[in-house]
Every structure is written in C-alpha cells, then in structure tokens.
Chain A
Amino acid sequence: MPLINLPAFSADLLAEFESLGTLRVDTPVIQPAEPFLAMAGEDLRRRIFMTESETGESLCLRPEFTIPVCLRHIETATGTPKRYAYLGEVFRQRREGGNEFYQAGIEDLGDTDIAASDARAVGNAMRVVANRLPGRRLAVTLGDQSVFEAVVGACGLPGGWQKRLIHAFGDQKHLQKLLAELADPRAAGVFGPEVERLAISGMLDDEARLVAHIGETMEATGYSTNASRSPQDIARRLKEKMELANTRLDPDTLDLVREFLALDMPLGEAPAALFRFAEKTGLTLDGALARFDARVAALADIGADVGVIRYRAAFGRPLDYYTGLVFEVEVEGTPAVLAGGGRFDRLLTLLGAREHIPAVGFSLWLDRIEAAIAASGGAA
C-alpha cells in the first residue's frame, strides 16, 4: 500500500536494507500496551496513545518497532540468527515534531558474535544515514554499559551498591547523586524501629529465625506470603541494606569512578586510554576491555569511518534491558539524533523467549533525516 506521506527516500532505504541481508517485516499498528509499559516503565504511559478493546484489554498505537519485531520473532519461532528490517509509522507524543512519524531500522537477533554484530549495527546505521546525506560529515556517540559495570565491579563495592549504580547508569543526575551519597562519611540508610528491636533480640544475625519471624508476622497481619515479596526476599535485602549503610566510598575510589565517567574521546583512542586507566588505577577490567577492543577492531574491519565516532564513558540508557553498546548518529554540528541503537540482550527473555537471544539494532528518525536533507539543500 503506497502511502503518499512516505519520505521520498523510502524505496531507496528499503532497497538498501535488503542489500544488507535483512528480512522486511511488518507489525500491526495497534499493539497490546502491556509489553511497552512493562519494558519501558510507567513514564511511557503519557507518551503513547492508548485505547481499550471491547473486552477491556489495553491497546496502544505502535510507539516503536523493537518490541513488536521481537514479539513477532518469538511468536513465529523461526529460529536465529535473523536480521529483520522495518519501515513504518510510529505514534508518540513528542515535545517537538508531530505525534506520528516514520521510523525504519534493523534488528539483529541471535548473532553470537557480539563484536561483529555490534560493529555491523553501528556501521549499517552510519551507512544508511550517510547515503541519505551525501557530503555531510556524521558525528557518532558511542557508550558501553558493560565497561562501567566492570569498573564498578572492580572497585570492590558490595553487590547492593553495584546494582544501584549500574541501574542509574545513563541517568547522569541520578548517578552523580548516588555517588555523592556513597562518599558522604555520615552513615546512610534509614532503619525503622522494628529493625532496632530485631537487632536487640539478636535476630539480625540469625537468618533462619528472621525469616521465620517475618513469615509469622505476615500470617498474623493477613499478608499472604506468596503474592508479593517473600520473607526470604525481605531478610536477604535487609542484610544487603545494612551492608549498603556501612559502606562508604573512600575519596580515591570516588575520584576514580568520576574520572572514568568523564572519559570522552575519539573511539580510536579509547582502547589505549581505557587500558591506561585500568593500569593507573589497578582495576582489573580485562574481559570488558578485550570486548571493547574487539568491537573497535570489528568496526575498522567493516570499513566504518571510526574517525567520526566518539566514545563517551557516561553515555547509556537507563532501561534495564540495555546491556552494552549504545550509540547515536547525528550530522556534525547539528543536535538532532538521526539514528539511535544499542544492544538489548535481555529484552527477548523479558518478553517471553525461552532461550537467551543476544540482540542489537538501531532505528532511524525519518522525519529528522528529511529535515536534515532539506537543510542541506537537497530534495526531501
């Protein structure tokens, strides 16, 4: 069905996707809302267009393609690896621009060569943007959550703090707040009066007794012990919380984490810089750095212009299914993100896939690309 509002370059784009060995898929415009809200969180609710079926099922207009493409993959159970391509309209309430616009992209599911498939996603995104905007120099930003995880892990922080920091990665304000809190020499953590009583009765040192006590209290107060958090959950995290409260980050380690987060350099220089950082700080980051280097090498292998890519250590997305690579493609000197992508190895299992399926992909903002073409004097 040819639509008259399709961007003029759509046919070229689809031909290019096909030449990249992808399978074009379509997904319904009307989607169940639940998976989007469950994956992206409640914030999305105000940005998507929701409606209800006659039977009360929450539905929404497709706000993006990644989740529908992955769900379709799980349902059709055609095996991996698969490289899917899509082009279609998405619907989101945006601060700027219209509420319905076209996106296109590629999702690469099930390729176990992480470095090569990461490089291919970045390289393909750069190539299709560059081909729409001949003569314009791109500016690509690249981040990698797994390097941050390795840094935090090597600092010897307790598990609870590591989780907190990793969870905040990509949300600069929140992360800096957590770091400041962690370095504050005053003990953190608020404990209720019940916990003091438990401490006095010696129960905090006896996990079996604590679990039994919590279980009995739940029974007595009418809280079913299976619907929500179990006595074991509560006892375990109480222990973790006391560890959190007793751990202060020494100033040297804090400086080191901040120094890492401030790293911002051409990608070509990043492997050596990260190696120097590890050597200087004495942190063991070998595995993460080897994977980082392999990705940079793979990018060079496929002929991507590594010179326009910057590595920013603090760049990430605060969504729990993004696990490693994230990147954005812009035209140099303009702020509009024309393509964005990353690795989401956790998404397919979260959506119900039985086996672990590594996944990486990107999507293109076709309306912004059209605007960029118009701005460079080409025909949109």
Chain B
Amino acid sequence: MTITIALPSKGRMKDDASAIFERAGMKIVAVGNDRSYRGRVEGWDDVEIAFLSASEISRELGNGTIDFGVTGEDLVREGLANADARVEFCARLGFGHADVVVAVPEIWYDVDTMADLGDVAADFRARHGRRLAIATKYWRLTQNHFSGSHGIQLYRIVESLGATEGAPASGSADIIVDITSTGSTLHANHLKILADGVILRSEACLVRARKPAHDGDPVVDRIIAAVRGAL
C-alpha cells in the first residue's frame, strides 16, 4: 500500500518539516519542478508526499484521504470533532509553537481568571442588553474550554478570520480567543491572557489518520520510528 504524507506547502513550516524528514533519513524531493505540489522520498518507493495548506492537512486527515500529515495541533483539534478517536498524534516536532489563549482587555482589572469571566458573562446581558462577544476563528476550542471546562454558557462567538486582536478595541467583540507565540501582538493591543486562559499549547505534529489498513503495515511503523528518531 502506498502511504501518503501531507506536508505544509509553503513557508517556515514547509522548511522545518522537510528538515526533520531529512534528518529522519527521508529526504524529500519534488516531483517535476520544485514548485510542484507532489513529492517523493528518496529510497522509500511506497511513500508519496502531498504538499497542502496546513488547514487542508487537518481536514484531509479527518477524511482519511491521507495517511500522515504535518500540521498544527490547534488546526486538528479545531477542525475535527473527537480528534483523538480519529487521528493519532505520533510526534511533537518542536516547531510552529503557538498557544491558543483567552485574552481580555488589560483594563479589565477585575478579570484574571475564567471564573471572573464567568461572572462578567452571567451579568452581561442584564447590563448591556447583549451577550458577551468573543472574536475567534476557534469555535470548537472556545466552546470546549468555556462550556466544557468552565461551565460558561452565556456568550456569543463573532467569527473573526484575521486581525482578531483588534476586535476588542474596535468594539466588534469584548474579548478574543486566538493564537499567540510571543504575546507581543496581544500586548500591543492592550490585551492580557487569563491565568487559566491557555486552551492549548500547540506545535507542529506528525499526525496519523487512524485507518484499519495501517494495522500491521511495517511502513507506517517505520515512518513513525524514523521521525521520532530525528527529534
């Protein structure tokens, strides 16, 4: 069986992923020219490489159209319901670090924990005539963290696909759930992370789609062992 590994198609994620595979003894060469979206691994005839965007990789893992993918844990957990039942996180690759966090305006001196936020959310409608609004592109992670872990139900998600950190100052939302690696953008926008507001510490991972066909396939085990050995 041919095993398909999907790698990020551009940027630092692509370079970092290729470097790890090379250290793992799986040197990736593009098929055709080096802008091609298909590749192979030198000496591994039963493995093919597909270059996809990071969010497509998470979706295709869920669909099972690829066997392995290198992508951010945040995208997998956001994109797939019951992620752990559908995919296996085989290795954490040490790059692409980003935390998914709950951040509120610094000026909210009274809010430093999710419990504080719960109090504010509970009263919000009575005081402002609407629910507390959260700008985010992470619907699922937000819901799990707010309702699942902290019993907060009363809020509204305002979808934000870019410049989420600006939403509270512009008034389009009250708080945000977003990724941050250094916190500098949050700081520049006068936002602070809640003490228990880290929803996920994400990084790039080697992720396997759980497929019955993988059971007992030696190539699957060899790929995992090779990548783990290169870390």
- Give residues 211-236 of A contacting B (CB, 8 Å): 214, 217-218, 221-224, 227-229, 233-234
Q: Which one of A121-129, A166-174, A366-374 is at the interface? A: A166-174
Task: Give the total of B residues in contact with A, Cβ under 8 Å.
Answer: 38
Interface string of B78-113 (1 = CB under 8 A from A): 000000000000000000000000000111111011
Does the CB pair B107–A160 fall under 8 Å? no
For B110, list chain A residues within 8 Å (CB).
Answer: 234, 237-238, 240-241
Q: Which one of A82-90, A191-199, A303-311 is at the interface? A: A191-199
Does the CB pair B190–A222 fall under 8 Å? yes
**Docked pose: A203 CA to B174 CA in angstroms:** 25
B100 CB to closest chain A CB (Å) equals: 16
Does the CB pair B169–A238 fall under 8 Å? no
A216 CB to closest chain B CB (Å) equals: 10
Does the CB pair B107–A221 fall under 8 Å? yes
Does the CB pair B112–A192 fall under 8 Å? yes
Given the known inter-chain contacts A228-B171, A237-B120, A320-B154, please indicate yes or no for A43 contacting B106, CB distance below 8 A: no
For B169, list chain A residues within 8 Å (CB).
Answer: 221-224
Interface string of A154-194 (1 = CB under 8 A from B): 00000010011001100101100000000000000111101
Which applies to chain B's interface (DSSP): helix, strand, loop or mixed? mixed
For A217, list chain B residues within 8 Å (CB).
Answer: 107
A161 CB to closest chain B CB (Å) equals: 10
Q: How many A-B residue pairs have CB under 8 A?
A: 103
- Give residues 132-169 of B contacting A (CB, 8 Å): 139, 142-143, 146-147, 151, 153-157, 168-169
For B147, list chain A residues within 8 Å (CB).
Answer: 41-43
Interface string of B105-132 (1 = CB under 8 A from A): 1111110110110111011010110110
**Docked pose: A205 CA to B152 CA in angstroms:** 31
Question: Does B19 sit within 8 A of A, measured CB to CB?
Answer: no
Q: Which of B106, B112, B153 is close to A318, meaning CB atoms less than 8 Å apart?
A: B153
Does the CB pair A192–B109 fall under 8 Å? yes
**Docked pose: A133 CA to B146 CA in angstroms:** 41
Give A232's nearest chain B residue, CB to CB.
Answer: B127
Q: Which of B107, B120, B130, B157 is close to A218, meaning CB atoms less than 8 Å apart?
A: B107
For A222, list chain B residues within 8 Å (CB).
Answer: 169, 190
Question: Does A350 sit within 8 A of B, measured CB to CB?
Answer: yes
**Docked pose: A43 CA to B144 CA in angstroms:** 9
Question: Does B192 sit within 8 A of A, measured CB to CB?
Answer: yes
Q: Which of A163, A233, A241 is close to B127, meaning CB atoms less than 8 Å apart?
A: A233
Question: Does B225 sit within 8 A of A, measured CB to CB?
Answer: no
Does the CB pair B112–A190 fall under 8 Å? yes
Does the CB pair B151–A318 fall under 8 Å? yes
For B31, list chain A residues within 8 Å (CB).
Answer: none
Question: Does A319 sit within 8 A of B, measured CB to CB?
Answer: yes
**Docked pose: A341 CA to B10 CA in angstroms:** 55
Question: Does A265 sit within 8 A of B, measured CB to CB?
Answer: no
B152 CB to closest chain A CB (Å) equals: 8
For B127, list chain A residues within 8 Å (CB).
Answer: 229, 233
Does the CB pair B151–A221 fall under 8 Å? no
Does the CB pair B112–A41 fall under 8 Å? no
**Docked pose: A46 CA to B116 CA in angstroms:** 26
Q: Which of A191, A221, A234, A241 is close to B190, meaning CB atoms less than 8 Å apart?
A: A221
Q: Which of A37, A168, A190, A195 is close to B151, meaning CB atoms less than 8 Å apart?
A: A168
Does the CB pair B109–A41 fall under 8 Å? no
Question: Does B231 sit within 8 A of A, measured CB to CB?
Answer: no
For A350, list chain B residues within 8 Å (CB).
Answer: 125
Question: Does A38 sit within 8 A of B, measured CB to CB?
Answer: yes
Does the CB pair B143–A191 fall under 8 Å? no
For B125, list chain A residues within 8 Å (CB).
Answer: 38, 320, 350
A34 CB to closest chain B CB (Å) equals: 9
For A319, list chain B residues within 8 Å (CB).
Answer: 153
Q: Which of A43, A223, A233 is close to B153, meaning CB atoms less than 8 Å apart?
A: A43
Give B124's nearest chain A residue, CB to CB.
Answer: A229
Question: Does B195 sit within 8 A of A, measured CB to CB?
Answer: yes
Choose among A171, A192, A214, A319 the residue with the greatest number of B CB atoms under 10 Å from its CB.
A192
Residues of B participating in the A interface, judged by any CB pair closer than 8 Å:
105-110, 112-113, 115-116, 118-120, 122-123, 125, 127-128, 130-131, 139, 142-143, 146-147, 151, 153-157, 168-169, 171, 174, 190, 192, 195
- Name 9 A/B residue pairs within 8 A (Cβ), A-sorted: A37-B156, A41-B153, A173-B151, A222-B169, A223-B168, A224-B171, A234-B109, A237-B119, A238-B110
A42-B146, A234-B110, A320-B154 known; 18 new pairs, CB 8 Å cut-off, are: A37-B156, A40-B153, A41-B131, A42-B143, A42-B155, A167-B122, A190-B112, A190-B113, A195-B109, A214-B109, A218-B107, A221-B190, A222-B169, A223-B107, A229-B127, A233-B127, A237-B120, A320-B125
Q: Which 4 A-B pairs have the closest CB atoms?
A: A227-B171, A41-B153, A174-B151, A238-B110
